Amino acid sequence: MGVVRTIALVILSISFVVFVALFGRLPAFRRTPIAFLHRLLWHHIPNGVIFVDQKLSGRRLTRGLSRLGNYLMNEAHPVVLIFFVTLQVAGELLFIPSAWNRLTTLQTITIPVLVVAPYWCLYLSATTSSNITAGNHRKAMLAYPYDYCLFHPGYYCSTCRFPKPARSKHCSLCKACVQKQDHHCIWINNCVGRNNYIWFNLLLLTIAALLAYAATLGHTLLDAQLQERLVPSALTRGSFTAKRWSTRLTWTQWANMWAWAIGVDWQIGAVMMLCMMSCPLALGFLIYHIYLMWAGMTTNESAKWADWKEDVQDDIVWRAEVQRLRETYPRLPSDVEPEDRLVQWPQDVRAKWWMVRTRDGEQPTFKKTGSQIQDDTEASDVPDERWMRVRSMREVDNLYDQGFWTNFVDGMFNRE
């Protein structure tokens, strides 16, 4: 029993640390213990190690670790991808040969499908690029309209030297601007963007299905072994009621029986426990991306919306009607700000409000004809009455949220 408890605690601890490391920065966890643990993991503990190492070795150890960490976190490399594949292959090699002779015909058909599907989705996720190039830049510019809130026309990527399409983001690891960039995923060694978002979500779905099925199948096989060991069929032959091995056992006895089964059939037991602990993490990723599609945003955009929410609470956000601002600030050239009729997004869905922040929270001042509207204010004595303070996020429209079904179709099937 002690070994099983130790294995369970180790797997749970690793899963929790991975969850905190990956999800702790999400806006939903701000001002929560998860955010504190994320800061503890990424900032406070490293700073403490640096302080101790400075005293002991003049930072020789931490400089080496820093170079290693910089490579792992800030360079495109297949290390995590290889670890991911190795872990899956090792689990399958342990589980399947040990269980194969005890499987039904349906199970022997189901397992190869569930095993192959994640590899196929992983391959497509890792090899499908959403990078913006000279050849597809114009198409990327016409994919989505600017919302004049998260994305404004007229900005250039300082690295790629392209006008930035709406919903795009430059990835320092991929060294390219990415169409509808969601995030850079170290598990696939690629950015999740417009072209591989469908494969990434199918990867999450197939991994979650494989983990759930392996955990369920492992439980079924070990339960059958316990039934045969503790209640042989010869003892129940002719009985009108089924007798279960767990009947009338205390919780301690029940746990001890499972510990025995896992210890005897450790290949199946270890993989079953790993799958049981890992499945919630995969499901968490999947549910989060379903939520993003429901909300009509990407992971990158969710962080931007969280910033706007805090700025609205700080009373430093203003909005004005785009059409009224056109009286003073005309459209930019079509290669920087495409005409509305050319953009693929529904023609009746265009930005109505232009959103800005001001550093001092005061109303934006009137700009001279031909100058650019900025998020900060220039010295001026004339407030621009076209701007109204935003008091609540209810006054802010998400141009890219067109209802779950439309968002789902756009996210999964709107590809080049």
* Residues with catalytic roles: 185
How far apart are alpha carbons 186 and 81 in whole angstroms?
Answer: 7
Tokens standing for residue 254: 């029940």
Best CA proximity match to 177, nearest among 158, 201, 198: 158
How far apart are alpha carbons 31 and 306 in whole angstroms?
Answer: 12
Q: What is the DSSP string of 186-253?
A: TTTTEEE-TTTHHHHHHHHHHHHHHHHHHHHHHHHHHHHHHHHHHS-HHHHTT-SS---TTTT--HHH
Q: At what angle do helices 197-230 and 266-295 cross, to 10 degrees?
A: 150
Distance of CA 8 to the CA centre of its chain: 25
Q: List all residues 6 or more positions away from 17 whose beta carbon is below 8 Å from its beta carbon.
A: 41
Strands (E), 40-199: 169-171, 176-178, 183-185, 190-192
How far apart are alpha carbons 82 and 87 in whole angstroms?
Answer: 8
Best CA proximity match to 117, nearest among 30, 7, 205: 205
CA angle 157/161/165 to nearest 5° reads 50
Side-chain-side CA neighbours of residue 190 (13 Å): 20
